[in-house]
Structure 1
Amino acid sequence: MCKKSDIRMSIKNIKKNITEEQRSQVSDRIRHYTEQLPEFQRARTVLLYHSLQDEVDTSMFLKSWQRDKRLLLPVVKKNDLIIRDYLPENLKPGSFGILEPQGKEITDLSVIDLIIIPGVAFDRNRNRLGRGKGYYDRLLARLKAYKIGICYDCQIIDRIPTEKHDIPMDYVITESGII
């Protein structure tokens, strides 16, 4: 079995070959598949993320959903993620250069119906491998919402090494469809 660090390095190298045009097309397809899920259609409050350059682009997700859903974004605060409302006019670069919302922290996490999560890699059992800091692992342990991991096809691997604290996704969505 591969070590997590080896998987992270391998996926990082593979993703370097994804062009900006491919990223845009794939992101649109993933958004389309996400919008087809009944859990998404029913969701009133969605926790999303502001994508990094090597991740599925979520900027169009934010633009197209902000009219119909309450959107929340995570903010890195020390070793944890705190949650704030997404307001496009209220974003500032934060940790790791990610645009983060300012304002009051959302402490009642039960309002979140659905969470869309990035990952370095996923497997067909819907296990997720993150970047290694545990931010999402700690957050997911506190949530009851539907969990959707989104990624490129090239990020699906045979098997993610899991630990007791790892929480599988309810769905994983790539440009090829829904797992």
Structure 2
Amino acid sequence: MSTASQRKQELREKVLAERQQISAREWKKKSELIISSFMNTGFYQEAKTVHTYISMNQRREVCTDKLVEDILKGGKRVVVPVTNFEKGTLTHSVISSISDLQKNKWGVDEPKHITPIDEEALDVIVIPMAAADRAGNRLGYGKGFYDRFLGKTDALKVGLVFDAFLFDEIPTEEFDKKLDVIISENEVIFA
């Protein structure tokens, strides 16, 4: 394991442990602030197709429940990822309702039936993460699913992160893909 890889893993473990300590009330309040900031951006308001992760709320990811509802109500097309763990890839599926989702064998909400969409059709991609830095670098969960996906699209790449996990600099490796925008409960950063 490279030094950068080791530093990333150590930071990931620290951040994820700290994130689990956030109270339900604080997590919900901060998530709402982040989602509200995102929905007030011009790029979101102009987007026709928004790809977003479905938050793993038990792991205290920034909650995207309200975002998914808003995209659906606003007449935009909502696309969610479907994970292929064997291939290490993501497939992308349009959903028309929250009821289109069910838990997969890892407890992650994914579409019951996949309605595939091409990456070129995406305007904005909302990306999960453990941490980020002000230069647009993202610390993911270590499997590379999003880095492989983000390398194939020109869509605007937006990361949602709690301010406590927004650093001046995080370790990176050559295959890590940068984000265009980072949104915390306190600020919107164009990287």
The residue number in structure 2 matching 1:3 is 7
SS in 1 for 2:169: coil
Work out whether residues 30 and 150 of structure 1, in 8 Å CA contact, stay in contact via their aligned partners in 2.
Answer: yes
Which residue of structure 2 lines up, in the alignment, with residue 83 of structure 1? 92
Give the ranges of 4+ consecutive aligned residues of structure 1 lying more than 6 Å apart after TM superposition: none
User: How many Å apart are 1:37 and its aligned residue?
Assistant: 1.4
Alignment of 1:1-179 (within 5 A): 3-52=7-56, 53=58, 54-68=60-74, 69-77=76-84, 78=86, 79-86=88-95, 87-179=97-189
Distance in 2 between residues matched to 1:104 and 1:152, nearest whole Å: 31
Q: Does the aligned pair in 1 maintain the 2:8–2:172 contact within 8 Å?
A: no
**Root-mean-square deviation over aligned CA pairs:** 1.5
Secondary structure at the counterpart of residue 133 of structure 1: coil
Query: How far is the alpha carbon of 1:89 from its aligned partner?
Result: 1.9
Gaps of 5+ in 2: none
Aligned counterparts of 2:115 and 2:23: Cα–Cα separation in 1: 36
User: Is the CA contact (8 Å cut-off) linking 1:14 and 1:154 kept in structure 2?
Assistant: no
Whether the 8 Å contact between 2:94 and 2:117 is mirrored in structure 1 is no
> Within 2, Cα distance between the matches of 1:59 and 1:104?
19
Q: Which secondary structure does the structure 1 equivalent of 2:183 belong to?
A: strand
Deviation at 1:176, TM superposition (A): 0.4
Post-superposition Cα deviations, 1:70-101, rounded to whole Å, max 9, x if no partner, equal 10100111311111112322211115211101
Paired residue type of 2:8: K
Using the size of structure 2 for normalisation, the TM-score is 0.88
Deviations 1:8-57 (A, max 9, x none): 11102221221111111111111111112111111000000111122011
Counterpart Cα distance in 1 of 2:105 and 2:184 = 27
Post-superposition shift, 1:105? Answer: 4.4
